[in-house]
Amino acid sequence: MKFGLTASALAALLILSGTSRAASAQQAPAVPDAPAPQSTTPLTDVSGPITPGLGANANSAPAANGAPSSSSQMQAPAQPPAPVVKDQIQATPPEMPPPQELGTILKVNVTYVEVPVTVKDSKGKLVAGLTWRDFRVFENGVYEPLKQFFVDPFPLSVAFVIDQSLTADVMERVNDSLGAIQGALTPYDEIAIFSYNNGAQERTGFTGAQSSRVPAVLALTKETGREEMIPYNSGPMAGCNVHVNGNCADPNLQPGRSTGSGPFITIPKEIHTLNDAILAAAKELSTRPKGRRRVIYVISDGKEYGSKATYRDVLRYLETNNIAVWGTLVGDSARWGEGYISRFHLPFQMFDNVLVKYTVATGGGLDAERGLNGVEKSYQDIAEQARSQYTLVYASHESIYDGKFRSIDVRVERPGLEVYAKHGYYPSAEEVQ
């Protein structure tokens, strides 16, 4: 009886202890086992260079026991980006050292040729609306594809040349028309004024076309002109009838002077230095920057005699510097019929109208006076034509170093149209950079 009670009490105690252990196991988390100690490789075994973050011999494999060896590969931790210092930010572009320090000079050979073109119909009116597909350009007979094509108006650099060797009646009409020059130009244009009689004279260099200086300078260029004299080389009126101290009152009629000697008197020749005036204007124009139309505008009867410069030399200078000659004919050269005949040159005589040759060769234009209103209107018409030309640009196949003349032929693939362009050019040293 006593043994049985003891056994039942023991069983109850065991049940209660198991229940308390299960409850304590649910309340307290399990504690993991501590890691086993691992041995490290001494530094004396390192045979390669030590890189911070990588260890020694990055190409080696780990040891068999999991410990890193002297040849084990260690992965470098990601480094945070370095902070940006404001003083290190570049505020200006780097300066290019001069060519002397670089030791190399770069040269670009420019072979592009610019050709201004004017297109008119059978009635002499400007033709607009053409595209680059309508033009064909040939240099020395070889077709040249267009590289650029412009229809935008260009600012003008105009060297205005006034003939002062005209007769008094023609000079009066020219003087009255000078006030209309500024009306044909825009504030973006510039003008220089030259005059010539017996030699060229620069009245003013290039200044703004609408400057108040232009009217003052034009007023100074007004002259009375020369009187129309009847030449006598025979008869009673040919000799020297008025003597002063045994000599002729007029030294030009003195025997042995310009009139010669004996009964036959040589008539003094007229002086019209048109070539010298165009050359002086061209030298001033050659200094103008690119991107502007270089124009010489001449108002003259076209006569030429007594210039130091020849027509061939002046034309070469114009064709080298891309200068076009435009003009208004006055006097005898502007008359119908007579103006056409004056274009032909008689041997041993002065040139009656050399201005036509300049305009045709350089791609310019020419107008003729029809009274005072015609002279004033010609300023406006020619300025409009020079400003609104088509601009064709092509790459020449010729060498830029030979200095030979290159002929240019511009054609329009439309019937009934007249094309006005320069006949050719000489390569310039300015195009070699």
Q: Look at residues 352, 369, 387 and tell me which one is the last residue of a structural domain.
A: 387
Q: How many CA atoms lie within 13 A of 69 on its CB side?
A: 11
**Same-domain check for residues 164 and 303:** yes
Please tell me the predicted confidence (pLDDT) of residue 90.
46
Mean pLDDT of 232-255: 57
Answer yes or no: do 324 and 253 share one domain: no
Q: What pLDDT does residue 39 have?
A: 65
* Contact in structure between 382 and 120 (CB atoms under 8 Å): no
> Are 282 and 363 part of one and the same domain?
yes
Measured in degrees and rounded to the nearest 5, phi and psi for residue 291 equal 95, 5
Domain that holds residue 236: 232-266
Helix (H) or strand (E) holding 160: strand 156-163
Say yes or no: 193 and 324 in one domain: yes
- Asked if residue 93 belongs to a domain, the reply is no
Cβ–Cβ under 8 Å, residues 121 and 420: no
Distance, in Å, from the CA atom of 431 to the CA atom of 433, rounded to the nearest integer, reads 6
The answer to whether residue 10 is domain-embedded is no
Q: State whether 407 and 348 are in the same domain.
A: no
Higher pLDDT, 400 or 30: 400
Q: What is the mean pLDDT of residues 364-374?
A: 77
217 lies in some domain: yes
- Domain total for the chain? 3
User: Is the predicted pLDDT of residue 225 greater than 70, yes or no?
Assistant: yes
Residue holding tokens 């009139």?
259
Judged against a pLDDT cut of 80, whether residue 263 lies above it is answered with: no
Q: For residue 34, is it within any domain?
A: no
- For residue 358, tell me if it sits in a domain: yes
Q: Give this prediction's pTM.
A: 0.67
* One domain for residues 406 and 260: no
Query: Tell me: the pLDDT tens digits for 33-56?
Result: 666 766 666 555 555 555 555 555
Burial of 389-407, coded b for 16+ CB within 10 Å and e otherwise, reads bbbbbbebeeeeeeeeebe
Q: Of 106-110, 122-126, 267-271, 305-309, which range is least confident?
A: 106-110
Residues 341, 289, single domain; the answer is: yes
Q: Which pLDDT score is estimated for 312? A: 93
Look at residue 30 in the predicted model and tell me its pLDDT.
60
The model's confidence at residue 196, banded by pLDDT at 50, 70 and 90, is very high
Q: 257 with 283, same domain?
A: no
- Where residue 173 sits, what CATH number does that domain have? 3.40.50.410
Rounded average pLDDT over 338-342: 58
Percent of the chain with pLDDT over 90: 30
Per the structure block, which two tokens stand in for 229?
Answer: 């004299």
Q: What is the mean pLDDT of the chain?
A: 76
Shared domain check, 164 and 303: yes
Mean pLDDT across 45-70: 52
pLDDT for 52: 59
Residues 214 and 333 in one domain: yes
Highest mean pLDDT among 109-113, 205-209, 365-369: 205-209
Position 22 in a domain: no
Structural domain contains residue 2: no
Same domain, residue pair 343 and 427: no
Mean pLDDT computed over 131-143: 92
Residue 419 included in any domain: yes
Q: Residue 215 has which token pair?
A: 């009217």
| Residues 149 and 170 both lie in one domain | no
- pLDDT level of residue 374 (50, 70, 90 thresholds): confident
Of 241, 266, 291, the residue at which a domain comes to its end is 266
